Amino acid sequence: MTFTIKGIAASSGIAIAKAFRLENAELDVTKKSISNPESEVARFDEAIKVSNGELEVIRDHANAELGEDKAAIFSAHLLVLNDPELLNPVKDKIKSENVNAEFALNEVASMFVQMFESMDNEYMKERAADIRDVTKRVLAHLVGVTISTPASITEEVIIIAEDLTPSDTAQLNRKYALGFTTDIGGRTSHSAIMARSLEIPAVVGTKEVTAKIQNGTMVIVDGLDGEVIVDPTAEELATYRAKKDKFEQQKLEWAKLKNEPTVTKDGHHVELVANIGTPNDVEGVLNNGGEGVGLYRTEFLYMGRDNFPTEEEQFEAYKSVLENMGEKPVVVRTLDIGGDKELPYLHLPKEMNPFLGYRAIRLCLDQKEIFRTQLRALLRSSVYGNLKIMFPMIATLDEFRAAKAVLIEEKEKLVAENVQVSDNIEVGMMVEIPASAILADQFAKEVDFFSIGTNDLIQYTMAADRMNEQVSYLYQPYNPSILRLVKMVIDAANKEGKWAGMCGEMAGDSVAIPLLVGLGLHEFSMSATSILPARSQMAKLSKADMEKLAEKALSMSTAAEVVELVNSIS
């Protein structure tokens, strides 16, 4: 009988095929006493060695298929696999308790997994997933079972799994794995990110696909609306085939706009640029017709390692982005660490309210050596392209002035050392704290540009933690209070002849776009795959009409009324 399972739309598109369950093999880890601990340790070492070999192959494959940044996860896995902090306690346990290696490994790994999972931090939770993935591989060798991997699939299927580990996802072959759906995971989990870069439709976080779908059942994965249709009727199959065709058609239409400027039907021009996290993302920006980079989140350079990146390492990353973007603008945001993003090697004290705490520019202005190193790397890279620098989490003009002063000092030092630095670097700020939006008229006199960070601006305006699902209903980009703040920032920029962009999720939101066009936003920065749909949407809008629409929205009282208003125009 047909039924539908709801989940999170993780990667767009529609896939229709038979289900292939990626089973989690039963790995027997029961405690057994052993008589020869030395040979048990040797058996453990052998399993580690074989796993090392396998992971190296997977990493090289991922490197070739998915690019260096996606393959980096396997270098991280190799580090886990060879980490004495994991291996030594296992060996000690085998020797001191005379227990089998499977049991010892499972005990030690579970302790680390629990520790990382209990941290209120997405990044650390992903580390728990890494340990689980690596442990499963070693356990399979110890137990002597072959774990089913996507690499063994040779017909067109939809993969059904509790979760896809990074190594599973890296082995997906687009020819056969038409789509996948999982019980757990969110939009930012590894598997979701990889699905988007492979362009495989995916629905994650369904909680129940493995419980409800049998091998060989016909399944539709609707990565557009986050639904999985199990055992569809002929009628449903026809409907979804039509939806799939329409989506493919739409993609072709969007592709035609790749090298076109972004203009409304009455000739108003805006910039559509992309948010990136690593130099490898540049390819996606160019493939999707991005006119620049509106937000380069540099914190990824600092994450997933155990010490600070050197000036040289940073310089190489910035130079690579600038060179590959050519003349197109690249807005680099200085380090925004703290809040939900932690660096283990920074040893920050635990805070009651990390989102309101010691983070981003606050930390950089306090620990200036970290800041200076980044600014020097940026200044040195500036001659390789069109660099703009912005500071995150600016609350007061003093902070902006202080940050800019450090930048100028570093520039002067470099010039004195005869290092070439561009003279045309625009220096701007993120507007993500209500105080800076309200005082935008004053800031506008001193900055070269604004970039509105609505992810944080909304959380601070609504006093609702963006990581807390129970208050997620307060994430209201269309609330007139937010629209009024956005208008204040854009108007302030206009008055001083500066430009205002937006790099929060709201900029790529199809309901917000008509309003933002109406408010006169100059630059929209979004994930690369949203650029062409946004360009296509804007070409159908009239700026003059959107101005009237925005004016009406500003005088409304609730977000729901605003949504209704916007929907009434299409």
Site string for ligand PEP, 476-505 (x = CB under 6 A): ---------------------------xx-
Which residues in 276-305 contact ligand PEP (CB under 6 A)?
A: 295, 297
Residue 268 known to be catalytic? no
Q: What is the CA radius of gyration of the chain?
A: 25
Which of 102, 133, 271, 432 forms a contact with ligand PEP (CB under 6 A)?
A: 432
Cβ partners under 8 Å of residue 98, min gap 6: 33, 34, 35, 37
454 is an interface residue for ligand PEP by CB under 6 A: yes
Q: Which is nearer to ligand PEP, 297 or 388 (CB)?
A: 297
Site string for ligand PEP, 344-373 (x = CB under 6 A): ------------------------------
Q: Which is nearer to Mg ion, 72 or 516 (CB)?
A: 516
- Consult the annotation and say whether 21 binds a ligand: no
**Can you tell me the distance from the alpha carbon of 319 to that of 297, in angstroms, rounded to the nearest whole number?**
15
Catalytic residue among 77, 141, 190, 522: 190
Number of residues lying near ligand PEP (CB under 6 A): 10
Cβ partners under 8 Å of residue 469, min gap 6: none
Q: Where are the beta strands (DSSP E) in 351-486?
A: 386-391, 426-431, 449-452
Tokens of 423: 């003279």
Cβ(319)–Cβ(387) below 8 Å: no
Cβ(460)–Cβ(434) below 8 Å: yes
Site string for Mg ion, 246-285 (x = CB under 5 A): ----------------------------------------
Question: In terms of DSSP bridges, do strands 157-161 and 177-182 run parallel, antiparallel, or are they unpaired?
Answer: parallel
**Can you tell me the distance from the alpha carbon of 181 to that of 165, in angstroms, rounded to the nearest whole number?**
13
Cβ(498)–Cβ(450) below 8 Å: yes
Cβ(493)–Cβ(445) below 8 Å: no
Which residues in 137-166 contact ligand PEP (CB under 6 A)?
A: none
Angle between the N-to-C axes of helices 512-519 and 531-539, in degrees from 0 to 180, rounded to the nearest 10: 60
Q: Which is nearer to ligand PEP, 79 or 474 (CB)?
A: 474
Which of 329, 453, 508, 514 forms a contact with ligand PEP (CB under 6 A)?
A: 453
100 class by beta-carbon count within 10 Å (0-12 exposed, 13-18 middle, 19+ buried): buried
Site string for Mg ion, 413-452 (x = CB under 5 A): -------------------x--------------------
Q: Where are the beta strands (DSSP E) in 466-547?
A: 499-502, 523-526
- Consult the annotation and say whether 456 binds a ligand: yes
- Consult the annotation and say whether 401 binds a ligand: no
Catalytic residue among 77, 141, 364, 503: 503
Q: Which residue is nearest to Mg ion (CB)?
A: 456
Q: Which is nearer to Mg ion, 452 or 492 (CB)?
A: 452
79, 293, 311, 460, 553 from 519: Cα distances, Å: 49, 22, 40, 21, 10
Which of 453, 514, 518, 533 forms a contact with Mg ion (CB under 5 A)?
A: 453
SS3 403: helix
Number of residues lying near Mg ion (CB under 5 A): 3
**At its nearest, how many Å lie between Mg ion and the CB of residue 361?**
11
Residue 364 known to be catalytic? no
227 is an interface residue for ligand PEP by CB under 6 A: no
Q: Please list the active-site residues.
A: 190, 503
User: Which residues of this protein are in contact with Mg ion, per CB under 5 A?
Assistant: 432, 453, 456
Which residues are annotated binding-site positions?
A: 297, 333, 432, 455-456, 466
What residues form the annotated binding site for phosphoenolpyruvate? 297, 333, 455-456, 466
| Interaction site with ligand PEP (CB under 6 A) | 295, 297, 336, 432, 453-456, 503-504
